[in-house]
Structures are given as C-alpha cells and as structure tokens.
Amino acid sequence: MYGRPMDHVFLSGNQRSGKTLLQLILASHPEITISPGTNIIAKVLFEMPRNRPLSEDNLRKMRQVLQKDRKFKAWRIDHRAYQAHVAKYQSVTTAEVVEDIMKFFRDQTKPNARYLGNKKGGYCKDGDLVKRVFPRAKLVFMLRDARGAVSSMLETQPEHDLTSASLMWWMKARRIRELKQEFPSDVFVCRYEELVTDPEAMARSLCTFLGLEYAPEMLAKYQTNDAIRHRTDTTHHETYEAITTSMIAEWKEKLRPEQVEAIEGLLGSELEKSGYTPVTKPATGLSLARYRAIRAREYLEWRTGWEMKRLKMG
C-alpha cells in the first residue's frame, strides 16, 4: 500500500455546476489532493464486496476496467508504475484499492497532502454507499440553479435533451438534500452562485468544514493547477480564467419561456427545496400528473440501481 492512512473527501454535484472549478480551488490547498474523475473508483466502490478481501475474479475485473478506462488513462501519473503495483495485488479490500489509487495520485502530485480525494458526478446519488466504505469521509457537493445547469448541459452535452437534463438535476439535488440531512456534519453544499460571488468566503468555509487553515494558494494558483486535470480536458476552458459572476443569469437569455416552464414543471418542488425561486406558475391538471409520473419513474430507476449496488457491496 502507498503511504500513511489519510482523511478522505469526495467531490460531486450536478453536471455543469462548477465542480471542476471547485476541484481546482480545493486541490490548490497544500493539504488537499483531489484526483480527476474516473470510472475505476466508482466501479470498485459500488460493484465489489465491502466486507471481505477481493477475490481473484474481482481483481481480474478491476484490472480489465483499468485497461479500458480512458478517463483514468488521462490522469497525469506514471501509469506503468501503477499497473505494475496493481499486478502484485493479492489480499486487498475495496477500501484499500480505492485509497491506493488516490494515494498513488497524491504521491506523484502532492506527497504531503493530508486529504485524499476524488471527483465524480455519481457520488451525490450514492454518497451513503461511499460512507459505507469510508465512514469518516467528507462529502462536498456542488449545486447550481437548475435552469443555469440545464441550459449549459443543452449547449455542451448533445446526449441530453431538456427532459433528461432536468431529471438528472432533480435526482441529484434531491439526493444532495437527503444526504445533508443524513450526514449533517460530513456534508458540505457549495452553491455555484455563492462561490463565484465571494470565492474567498466560500474557500474559508470549506477549510473550516475540513478542519484546515485557509490557504491563499486556493485562489492564487487554481488557474495553473494542471496536475489535477485530465490530459485530454478541453471542456473547462473557463477555469483558466478569472472567476466571474457573468454566467449566473445566462439562462434567462438562453432559455425560451416554454423551456423554463418545462424545466420547473419537471423539477416540481425540488427547485424551491434546493433554495431557488421558480419564475413560472406551478403545473396543474394533466401536466402536473405527467411530471409526477416522470419523476416517479426516474426515482424508481435510481432506487433499483442503488439496491443492486448495495447488494454487490455486501
């Protein structure tokens, strides 16, 4: 295993919410490292046993995922050295494998960091499962006004339409709120609007949450912190620039009135529960029934997947 036991922080949130900016700010602290998103950590966390050493079949599957995981291959680390390390695995647990991946990244980018972290969008849906593996882990969630997030998704992610983007925001926002209620002292919700309006205040609050002293490097060096970016990252050009509030209200110009109405209808009461004010009248009649049915189906699909992950973890 690599290095000494560490504290853990997992970063997640809605798509197009500012997660990468927050990752850069946090990982510019001298005592925090947050490795880029990858499928391998989620695969090990959610699809392999938690309470016993991984079997030879588990390890074989893990090595296969490592070979195919393009996001992991884009990490700025010595992949040959890591593959050689993994090839020697015999009796290891899920927690040890995940911590090993993050430690390997830490040791090659910031050896003295106290916090090991990873960023992945799915952690906000399944944060409670993360806590099963790392009970003392801190969870940091990025939350942005749904209308701004959906507008950005429609512009940058062609795989999404208005319905799928809205439902993704709805499910993640709901789970963030539930996880904050379940783990109040271990969950921090960072609002995009607050982060870009007063970055230092938010950075200081995050440090307090993590039990660290505020470090000016968090805001002085985040633009040049390439160590935690994927080598192939071409979608976050704005994070190389100064923080601005200009994107907070962009959705008001980019979304048509009927799109805003549909987004708010699909979200139901979750928009207000998450701290954002609707600007259209609540849906009624057949529209209301339709939106409720769509949300119920989305929740059922997530719940079924959650149960399957829980059973695999043991």
Q: What is the DSSP letter of 239?
A: G
Q: Does a structural domain hold residue 28? A: yes
- pLDDT above 90 covers a percentage of the chain that reads 70
Q: Does a structural domain hold residue 77? A: yes
Average pLDDT, the chain: 91
From CA 314, how far away is CA 140, in angstroms rounded? 25
Q: Does a structural domain hold residue 258? A: yes
pLDDT value of residue 159: 93
Looking at per-residue pLDDT, the higher value among 3 and 117 belongs to 117
Worst-scoring range by mean pLDDT, 66-75, 98-107, 181-190? Answer: 66-75
Q: Does a structural domain hold residue 289? A: yes
For the entire predicted model, the pTM comes to: 0.93
Q: Does a structural domain hold residue 111? A: yes
Q: One-letter amino acid identity for 292?
A: R
Q: Does a structural domain hold residue 115? A: yes
pLDDT value of residue 83: 87
Q: What share of the chain is helix, strand, coil (3-state, %, to 5)?
A: 60, 10, 35
Residue 1 has pLDDT above 50, yes or no: no
Count the Cβ atoms, other than its own, within 10 Å of residue 294.
17
Q: Does a structural domain hold residue 2? A: no
Residues of the domain holding 42: 7-313
Name the residue among 198, 175, 169, 200 with its Cα closest to residue 187: 175
Strand order in the sheet with 187-191: 32-35, 115-119, 7-13, 138-143, 187-191
Sequence-ordered list of residues with C-beta below 8 angstroms from that of 78, at least 6 positions apart, any chain: 108
From CA 224, how far away is CA 25, in angstroms rounded? 10
For 229, half-sphere exposure in the C-beta direction (CA atoms, 13 angstrom radius) is 18
Domains held by the chain: number: 1
Residues in the chain: 314
- CATH number of the structural domain spanning residue 117: 3.40.50.300
From CA 23, how far away is CA 310, in angstroms rounded? 28
Q: Are 31 and 129 in contact (CB under 8 A)?
A: no
pLDDT tens digits for 12-62? Answer: 999 899 999 999 999 999 999 999 888 889 989 999 998 889 999 999 988
pLDDT value of residue 234: 56
3-state secondary structure of 43: helix
